[in-house]
């Protein structure tokens, strides 16, 4: 078996379910182990019965090398530790790790297998992780700008977004990523990945800014602002801007599917611990 011939166990829904399943089945270097969906009947017509897992507690029977979650942070909270006893685990909804309890539990469980965090729209993640390893990362801010219809929000942010009128952009949130993740669990996985990569700052130290902009009818915009060590009285700084094509109402931009597939292919086989991919 080559380094990339891993069995893939997938928890998926809607478009990304179809995309990843087809990608795995079409690639000769990948082999599908199982697929789980909360409602099995939704996948029985499109997935062969031998691939369908009806109980995630029994996923080990499929002998996966890598288990992939791409739907909801609740899965990591409920099954993450069990997954890591069975195989490497790719957390597709890293907002789950904004819970200190969940992060601590999965880090502790990643002793025989690896816990993988997909970079997604988080540009420059590996370089930022290296800075965090050296302790030279001083600050990190991730700003996400989307059309109001592209947000799936909770609580006060939901009400604030729904009350937007006119064409002016509105700042929905600007503060620690930890407090934002429970309010926007489907939208800020990029920020959660940033907090995991920037481990010397963590979810409290990494800042997130969410902007709802009615004028963004074709794009999701992600800005990453990095501050590093001071040299000759001046701070090292890098700022990137990522424009991801996306129609109004789309929670995920079109480039994200390919990005996640690339992360999935890169995941696995690196041993215990936490890995950005």
CATH 3.30.360.10-classified regions of the chain: 125-246
- Give, as one character, the DSSP assignment of residue 38: S
Q: How does pLDDT run across 7-24, given as a tens digit for each residue? A: 455 554 467 777 888 888
Amino acid 121: pLDDT: 67
The structural architecture, per CATH, of the domain 7-117+257-276 is 3-Layer(aba) Sandwich (3.40)
In this structure, the number of other CB atoms found within 10 A of the CB of residue 17 comes to 20
Residue whose C-alpha is closest to residue 61's, from 69, 73, 52: 52
Q: How does pLDDT run across 25-76, given as a tens digit for each residue? A: 899 999 999 989 887 777 777 788 898 999 999 999 999 999 999 878 999 9
Amino acid 259: pLDDT: 82
Q: How far apart are CA 21 and CA 8, in angstroms?
A: 9
CATH 3.40.50.720-classified regions of the chain: 7-117+257-276
Q: How does pLDDT run across 89-121, given as a tens digit for each residue? A: 999 999 999 999 999 999 999 999 999 999 876
Give the strand pairing for 88-91 and 66-69.
parallel
> What is the residue-averaged pLDDT of the chain?
89
Global pTM value: 0.89
Q: How does pLDDT run across 167-219, given as a tens digit for each residue? A: 999 999 999 999 999 999 988 999 999 999 999 999 999 999 999 999 999 99
The structural architecture, per CATH, of the domain 125-246 is 2-Layer Sandwich (3.30)
């Amino acid at each position: 078996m080559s380094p990339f011939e891993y069995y893939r166990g997938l928890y998926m829904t809607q478009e990304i379910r179809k995309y990843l399943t087809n990608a795995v089945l079409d690639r000769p270097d990948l082999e599908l182990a199982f697929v789980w969906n909360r409602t099995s009947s939704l996948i029985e017509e499109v997935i062969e019965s031998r691939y369908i897992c009806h109980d995630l507690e029994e996923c080990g029977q499929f002998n996966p090398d890598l288990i992939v979650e791409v739907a909801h942070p609740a899965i990591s909270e409920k099954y993450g530790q069990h997954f890591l006893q069975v195989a490497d685990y790719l957390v597709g909804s890293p907002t789950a790790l904004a819970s200190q309890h969940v992060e601590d539990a999965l880090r502790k469980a990643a002793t025989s297998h690896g816990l993988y965090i997909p970079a997604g729209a988080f540009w420059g993640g590996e370089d930022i992780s290296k800075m965090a390893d050296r302790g030279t990362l001083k600050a990190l801010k991730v700003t996400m700008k989307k059309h109001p219809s592209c947000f799936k929000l909770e609580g006060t942010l939901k009400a604030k977004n729904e009350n937007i009128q006119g064409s002016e952009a509105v700042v929905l949130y600007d503060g620690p990523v930890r407090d934002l993740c429970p309010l926007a669990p489907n939208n800020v996985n990029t920020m959660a990945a940033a907090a995991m990569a920037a481990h010397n700052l963590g979810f409290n130290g990494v800042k997130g800014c969410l902007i709802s902009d009615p004028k963004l009818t074709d794009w999701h915009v992600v800005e990453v602002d990095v501050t590093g060590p001071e040299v000759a009285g001046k701070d090292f700084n890098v700022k990137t801007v990522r424009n991801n094509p996306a129609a109004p109402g789309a929670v995920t931009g079109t480039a994200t599917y390919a990005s996640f597939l690339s992360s999935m292919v890169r995941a696995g086989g690196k041993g215990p611990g936490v890995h950005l991919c």
